[in-house]
Structure 1
Amino acid sequence: MASTTPTKTADSEKITLNLGFVDLGRIDLLVQEGFYSNRSDFIRTAIRNQIDSHGEIVTRSIARNTMDLGLRHVSRAELQALRDKGEMLHISVVGLARIAADVTPELASATIGSITVLGALQASDDLRKALADRIH
């Protein structure tokens, strides 16, 4: 019997990072001293601080490139309306772009002209295959 529990969507992306032993030891020391709860907490904080230190540059770049910041959800209804008008959608996101699970590869191919994501794209494997030449 199939499960009726909704699938939880991840709100973050896992990355792999290689660090030298000395840097790793310094991080562990700061964790041990109570400055951070764990290595991941330190790394997330360090990344946020770096992004904040370049905040003006990021803001100007987003404005210059007319990109959405944060979550961009593309629904079936939005794509159907575009198809009915004969228009194409060009998705450009810094953050997460998510294409609804009920969007068919045919509808996506007919209405999505390009996808540029700096972050993560959540879409079914079938959609990814159908749009492979439009994902940058």
Structure 2
Amino acid sequence: MAGNVQDIRSKQTDSEKITINLGYVDLGHVDLLVREGFYSNRTDFIRTAIRNQIERHSDVVRQAVTRSSVDLGLRHFSREDLEAARDAGQVLEIRVLGLATIANDVTPELALATISSLTVLGALHASAAVKAALADRIK
């Protein structure tokens, strides 16, 4: 039985938790729509509303992504990736719209040696030490 136990905490999720404040009347409208069966819960309503707004502004988003030369989606930087960049004399300007992850075995020194700037529209997952080391390079 012990062989079937999995550590759920180590799994990365595909979403980021945010907090919003809504007025009581707006929240009441959301709850009404959930109760009437239009949405399964408040989260379903909020996700749908956000996706509708992103779709509504898709042309602007597409142009901004192209103009800014950002990577769209998930971008992972392993220790090996950064060591290869360092060994090739490359310095990275990282721009991600989505999720950027820097592996936990990346040292602050390696990050400083290889990352000149880091812009993430979405979420950045990295060790606290790497985030602290790159603090003045994160935009």
Is the structural similarity TM-score above 0.5? yes
| Cα drift, residue 10 of structure 1 | 2.5
Structure 2: gaps (5+ residues)? 1-5
In the alignment, the residues of structure 2 paired with residue 88 and residue 20 of structure 1 have an alpha-carbon distance, to the nearest angstrom, of 46
Matches within 5 A, 1:56-75: 56-75=59-78
TM-score under structure 1 length normalisation: 0.94
Q: Secondary structure at the match of 2:83?
A: helix
Residue 31 of structure 1 corresponds to 34
Q: Secondary structure at the match of 2:66?
A: helix
In the alignment, the residues of structure 2 paired with residue 119 and residue 57 of structure 1 have an alpha-carbon distance, to the nearest angstrom, of 17
Match of 2:10 among 7, 11, 14: 7
In the alignment, the residues of structure 1 paired with residue 15 and residue 96 of structure 2 have an alpha-carbon distance, to the nearest angstrom, of 15
Aligned-residue RMSD, C-alpha: 1.5
Q: Secondary structure at the match of 1:57?
A: helix
Residue 43 of structure 1 corresponds to 46
Q: Secondary structure at the match of 1:86?
A: coil
Q: Residue deviations 1:22-56, cap 9 Å, x none?
A: 11111111100100000110011000000000011
Matches within 5 A, 1:116-127: 116-127=119-130
In the alignment, the residues of structure 1 paired with residue 53 and residue 80 of structure 2 have an alpha-carbon distance, to the nearest angstrom, of 38
| Cα drift, residue 72 of structure 1 | 0.8
In the alignment, the residues of structure 1 paired with residue 12 and residue 137 of structure 2 have an alpha-carbon distance, to the nearest angstrom, of 24
Structure 1: gaps (5+ residues)? none
Runs of 4 or more consecutive aligned structure 1 residues displaced over 2 Å after TM superposition: none
Identity percentage of aligned residues: 64
Q: Secondary structure at the match of 2:31?
A: helix
Match of 1:20 among 18, 23, 40: 23
Q: Residue deviations 1:65-118, cap 9 Å, x none?
A: 000011111111111111111110111011110001111111111101110001
Alignment: residue pair count: 134
